[in-house]
Amino acid sequence: MAFASLRLLASLLLLTLLPLLLLLGIGVLISMGRPVLFRQRRAGREGRDFTLLKLRSMREATGPDGKPLPDEARVTAFGRFLRRSRLDELPGLWNVATGDMTFVGPRPLLPETIAGLGQRGAARGRVRPGLTGWSQVNGNTLLSLDEKIALDLWYVDNASPLLDLRIVMLTLWVMVGGERRSREVVLAD
């Protein structure tokens, strides 16, 4: 499917899912307050920065030393639900509609993370980042950064419409059944 068609599809999905997004936004507002959206600079295709949008899943909380508490201590029950179901990613449809992302590709990382990866970061940036990707359906948070990067690079080298369809179907499975580290994880050499 042409990229312009994917952008149009993302726009239509965003409009269709607007009532759900509003309900989820109200849930974030009630459980965590403002802001409802999490915004963060991420590295896109060819390393170009863009602002990633997600529903916020953590409250702002600091310890006695003034430093933020660990993520586990800041994630609310509603935030855990959003993360597990991947519904926190719905605002990312805006990033697809604007052309910064696509539906399937490596998840966008922080620019400094990409810079620290050197050639692997540059190779990973040959494709647009996605709402979901090969490493997300093969373990995601259960994987080390090196494992995720290896999976992302495998995807970059093997991307195809059929693989994208497989990733979309596996993403739906993960949304319903939760994350599992795949036994068949394909790692690059």
Residues 24 and 181: their CA atoms lie apart, in Å, by 28
Full residue range of the structural domain in which residue 94 is found: 3-177
132, 152 in Cβ contact below 8 A? no
Which tokens belong to 11?
């726009």
> How many domains is the chain built from?
1
Residues 140 and 76: their CA atoms lie apart, in Å, by 20
Percent of all residues in the chain with a pLDDT value above 70, rounded to a whole number: 94
- Residue range 66-96, pLDDT digits in tens: 777 777 778 889 999 998 888 999 999 999 9
- Residue range 4-28, pLDDT digits in tens: 888 999 999 999 999 999 999 999 9
Which tokens belong to 101?
């992302």
Whether 148 is covered by a domain: the verdict is yes
Task: Determine the residue type at 137.
Answer: V
- Candidates 152, 31, 44, 132; CA nearest to 85 is 132
Mean pLDDT to the nearest integer, 29-37: 94
Whether 38 is covered by a domain: the verdict is yes
Model confidence band, residue 186 (pLDDT cutoffs 50, 70, 90): low
- Residue range 37-74, pLDDT digits in tens: 999 999 999 989 999 999 999 887 767 777 777 777 78
Residues with Cβ within 8 Å of 71's Cβ and at least 6 positions away in sequence, in order, are 58
Residues with Cβ within 8 Å of 136's Cβ and at least 6 positions away in sequence, in order, are 107, 167, 171, 174
Q: Is the per-residue pLDDT at 175 higher than 80?
A: yes
Whether 53 is covered by a domain: the verdict is yes
Which residue has tokens 């997300």?
136
Whether 113 is covered by a domain: the verdict is yes
- Residue range 119-159, pLDDT digits in tens: 999 999 999 999 999 999 998 877 888 999 999 999 999 99
59, 74 in Cβ contact below 8 A? yes
Higher pLDDT, 98 or 178: 98
The continuous run of DSSP H or E covering 189 comes out as none
Q: What is the DSSP letter of 68?
A: B
Whether 187 is covered by a domain: the verdict is no
Whether 189 is covered by a domain: the verdict is no
Whether 184 is covered by a domain: the verdict is no
Whether 183 is covered by a domain: the verdict is no
Virtual CA dihedral for 120, 156, 130, 167, nearest 10 degrees?
Answer: -130
* Predicted pLDDT of residue 103: 96
* Predicted pLDDT of residue 188: 44
